[in-house]
Amino acid sequence: MTATSRLEINGIEHAVFSWGDPAHAPILLLHGAKDRGTSFDEVGPALAEAGFFACAPDLRGYGETEDGREDGCYQLEFLVSDIAEFVEALSPEAPIHLVGHSFGGVLSTLYAGTFPDRVATLSVVEGLGSHHPDDASPARLRRWINARRRDRTRSPRRITLEHAAHALRSLNPELDETTANRRAAQLTHPADDAYAWWFDEQHWHTLFELTFERWQAHAAAVEAPTLIVSGGKSGHHPTDEAARLRSYGHHTCVDISGGGHMVHWSKPAALTDALLRFIRQ
């Protein structure tokens, strides 16, 4: 059974989904872009059954969590700061087990490199990031301002649940129709006589992207044993994947064939087994 609570972090009220006994060792699950904490609903219960307390928040601007528009902050530093406060609330003294999928994997690496003593194990699921040029040009700043101005004044795009499910399957062909329909309902909310994706589009406007050098500095600072999970050939493989893997110190790689990028949806049992084997080592 999924427990739902609210927790104020850095002035923003977050929705938090959890499974298991809060007295047990905590595992913090961080979702990716266009996703939600509640979509770990097949992984979280299995982790709880194994004796852990699994906790998955909706990150700022996603799902039922408030957006970050008051301070204009979907910059990485603010998101990592949120994670730091989650960790303190979840486990004030003992290091935690940290699991991040996709963009959540990038955030997990940034946090684990910044606070290496607060992470017992790090699991990066389809979350090695992507190559971004170091573009600090005036043109980049102009595009960022114009995009924020545009999205601030327009209403969220209206869609149907059928369109949402089709979009999910187009991006993730491993998903069967039933899974895609369920996730579409989970990742949208009613809007007038239709539906809208449940995330703030301002998330797409990061002033300066995360360069490889900046990401690498954090990955190299991670001290916790690290698990890198791939969804197989159809998963996400950045062009500089080999260099990114070398950036971590003590790490183990697991390939879940046929999982694709949304491996926590398509192969939740295989993912849970991989996480538990690693964490229990």
Answer whether residue 99 is part of any domain. yes
In a domain, 121, yes or no: yes
Residue 280 has pLDDT above 60, yes or no: yes
Distance between CA 137 and CA 132 in Å, rounded? 14
Mean pLDDT computed over 158-186: 95
**Domain at 28, CATH number:** 3.40.50.1820
Q: Is the pLDDT of residue 223 over 80?
A: yes
Per DSSP (E only), the strands in 169-237 are: 188-191, 194-197, 226-230
For 88-140, the pLDDT digits (tens) are 999 999 999 999 999 999 999 999 999 999 999 999 999 999 877 777 678 87
Domain tally, the chain: 1
Q: What is the mean pLDDT of residues 199-209?
A: 72
Any domain includes 15: yes
What pLDDT digit, counting tens, does each position of 129-171 carry?
987 777 767 887 788 788 777 777 777 789 999 999 999 999 9
Structure tokens at 177: 């129709």
Give the pTM: 0.94
Residues 6 or more apart whose CB falls under 8 angstroms from that of 280 comprise none
Residue 269 placed within a domain? yes
Residue 198 belongs to a domain: no
| 156 lies in some domain | no
CA distance 107 to 215: 10
List, for residues 22-32, the tens digit of each pLDDT value: 999 999 999 99
Position 9 scores a pLDDT of: 94
Instruction: Examine residue 171 and state whether it is found in any structural domain, yes or no.
Output: no
Find the mean pLDDT for residues 178-185: 96
Which range of residues forms the domain containing residue 7?
3-150+206-279
Residue 61 lies in a domain: yes
* Averaged confidence pLDDT in the chain: 92
Residues 6+ apart with CB under 8 A from 161: 181, 184, 185, 188, 195
- Sheet of 53-57: strand order equals 3-9, 12-19, 53-57, 26-30, 96-101, 119-125, 226-230, 251-255
